[in-house]
Amino acid sequence: MTGRPEKLFPLFAGLETLEGVGPKTAQNMAQLGIESPRDVLFSLPYAVVDRRRRDTIKGAELPSTLTVEVTVGTHRPARNRGGAYRIHVEDAQTDFQLVFFHARGDYLQKILPQGARRVVSGKLELFDGMAQMVHPDHIVPPEDASDLPEFEPVYHLTQGVTQKTAYKAAQSALARAPDLAEWADPAQVGQQNWPDWASAMRAAHHPKGADDVAPFAPARERLAYDELFAHQLTLALARQRERKARGVVSVGTGKLQSKILNSLPYRPTNAQSRAIDDITADMAADTRMNRLLQGDVGAGKTLVAFMALLVAVEAKGQGVMMAPTEILARQHLEGLRPLAEEAGVVLDILTGRDKGAERRAKLAALKRGDIHILVGTHAVFQDDVEFRDLRLAIVDEQHRFGVRQRMELSEKGQGADVLVMTATPIPRSLSLAQYGDMDVSVLDEKPPGRKPIKTAIVSTQRMDEVVAHLRRAIDEGRQCYWVCPLVDESEVSDLTAAQERFKRLRALLGDETVGLVHGQMPPADKDAAMAAFQNGQTKVLVATTVIEVGVNVPNATIMVIERAEIFGLAQLHQLRGRVGRGEAASTCLLMYQAPLSEGGRKRLEVLRETEDGFRIAETDLQMRGAGDLIGTAQSGLPKFRIADLERQAGLMAVAQSDARTLLAGDPKLTSDRGQAARVLLWLMKQDQAIRLISVG
């Protein structure tokens, strides 16, 4: 199938082909991202106005939108320009006023002549004891009133697009919605009592009450499912293509692994053991591993990663572990070094800093296979980096790493297995949306010996107490982080905030004691400031959020987060996880500026109550919505127009298993349902998937 199916052509025509849409309106709609009749269909109404006729407004609860037939009475023009022009009207049992501002009297005399009968519809409110309808939405003669829909859908608008225009455009787009063959699993459709696609579209644009615009209305749920199914089908196709690429079979002997397990002071948690088993099985299979290891702060990802690297080494191959920054790469090196020494394997690091002869020597050793495990930054991607036999690539901190980069990475080692690690607990619905092409292992228990972190919520007004608390901790030989707020998106003002705080703390605690690290510093200065804190030269590190991922200073036991109420929950949880890594009990102080909003208070309280990253992530998702949670722009998270990831998490899982099952039985999508699914992919503009099928 080379091009878009013909029956979809009308949906992808110009907007101006719709009734009531001229060039200007089309331009305005484009600002909402609506570029074709198809997009009009997928912009469902978000509310519904009940415009059923009543005999009288008497007994109605005000304010509310009412539709009633009236006899027009006297006009009382405004006394001054811009004042209220009032028209007295009577229905079957009582009277009220129609009110117009900036009104043209001659126009109102024409459409509402005294003594005439009219049907008026609009919001009725009580004002000084008098019922008033200000600027009615509709004023029509009784004989034309049948044109008013009983239930009027309400659409999201933009400058220059009225409800009337949006309604007309939607009706016109519906008229050309074709009947399409069923792509959803028939059992699912029957069980949920879902309408077919075209009927669902019609029902969604003709809601009969508030329930019909809720995510759980059958028509809405069906359309949300279609969106999620198309997305999961795309991911499943990418996954299928990955799987087709032959993997390398890496079977470990267990010799090096048992050395490590015997040397540990504790047993791995059940979650760690499960993850290690999953990975070992994947590496032994002849298809390529594509797995996500998702673990909360301090859940022991390093051990799992190292065991996986040992499988590669035991199988006479090499492994590489990649981190997004030099600081993190060096930290991985520090974390892995004692384990590598215990196992007797050669570990080295390669970053952009390696130059000249030293770099050449490392590259030669890699190519000979003398280096077993390499830790590095993206420098590992450069063309002159060659492995003797790369079996496993581990990528740390996934967000900045989409499907495309995963594919690139696996080209480096022909068929090398890929393990992605993220320390950000993501609710299941989102992890399916973002990593649906991967298999997921979750570390959801903490290894023994991690001490809980005490979290307190303090107002900025108690700054002096906080500083006194720091002074005591420093005297006891402890270290502290002090995180400054991101004031707004401009880094300049964040910087001033951090520099001001740095100056004040130095004045209070002594010059030698306080260090500063922020996003605008040259990398070398940043590393130097971090190093000074890591080796204990500075006792307090003032930082903007550059420290949220991975930094490990066991002696740091206090984390102060200033203006905590403006941070996201996940970010606060990540920052807090920087302390509590050593022997001593740790504290996290969330400082807020009064007054706290309801949402801000709730966020801080969740943190005070729990250290479970997954629970925090679920709360975050409910409070903020999916887009904000991962910053949709850079997350590779698709924009869904209908599906609501917060409230329809379950549907995402169904869509994923349906997509995988369909492809397992029909990998080229040639069956009837497969052909229908192809039409769905075109309808949903899933070009990537369409390319995968046409080449596949």
Domains and CATH numbers, the chain: 6-48+157-214 (no CATH), 52-148 (2.40.50.140), 255-443 (3.40.50.300), 453-610 (3.40.50.300)
- What pLDDT score was predicted for residue 403? 56
> To the nearest 10°, the Cα dihedral for 155, 7, 638, 215?
40
pLDDT for position 638: 61
Q: What is the DSSP string of 353-408?
A: T--HHHHHHHHHHHHHT--SEEEESGGGGSTT---SSEEEEEEE-GGG--HHHHHH
Q: How confident is the model at residue 505 (pLDDT cuts 50, 70, 90)?
A: very high
Provide the token pair at 451: 């001490």
Query: Is the pLDDT assigned to residue 232 strictly greater than 70?
Result: yes
In this prediction, residue 547 carries a pLDDT of 63
Kindly provide the b/e burial profile for residues 445-461, where b requires at least 16 CB atoms within 10 angstroms of the residue's own CB.
ebbeeeeebebebbeee
Q: How far is Cα 612 from Cα 96, in angstroms, rounded to an integer? A: 58
pLDDT digits (tens, 9 = 90+) for 387-445: 999 999 998 864 455 555 555 565 555 678 889 888 777 776 677 777 777 888 888 88
Q: How far apart are CA 569 and CA 630, in angstroms?
A: 11
Mean pLDDT, to the nearest integer, of 548-570? 81
Predicted TM-score (pTM) of the model is 0.67
Instruction: Please say whether the beta carbons of 543 and 517 come within 8 A.
Output: yes
Please give the pLDDT value at position 632: 36
The residues with which 376 forms a beta bridge, in sequence order, are: 322, 350
Q: Which residues on neighbouring strands pair with residue 117, listed in sequence order?
A: 71
pLDDT digits (tens, 9 = 90+) for 189-220: 999 999 999 999 999 999 998 889 988 899 99
**Contact, 235 vs 437, CB < 8 A?**
yes
In tens, the pLDDT along 25-69 reads 998 898 888 999 999 999 999 999 999 999 999 988 889 999 999
Confidence (pLDDT) at 267: 87
What pLDDT is stored for residue 635 in this prediction? Answer: 40
pLDDT in tens, 594-603: 888 888 888 8
Q: Take residue 629 and report the two structure tokens written for it.
A: 């949670």
**Percent of the chain beyond pLDDT 90?**
49
Mean pLDDT of all residues in 102-107: 86
- For residues 188 and 658, is the Cβ–Cβ distance under 8 A? yes
Instruction: Report the alpha-carbon distance of residue 70 to residue 68 in Å, rounded.
Output: 6
Phi first, then psi: what are they for 623, rounded to 5°? -80, -35
The DSSP symbol for 511 reads G
**Which of 115 and 1 is assigned the larger pLDDT?**
115
Of 548, 513, 554, give the one whose Cα is nearest residue 534.
554
- Least reliable range by pLDDT among 87-101, 477-491, 515-529: 477-491
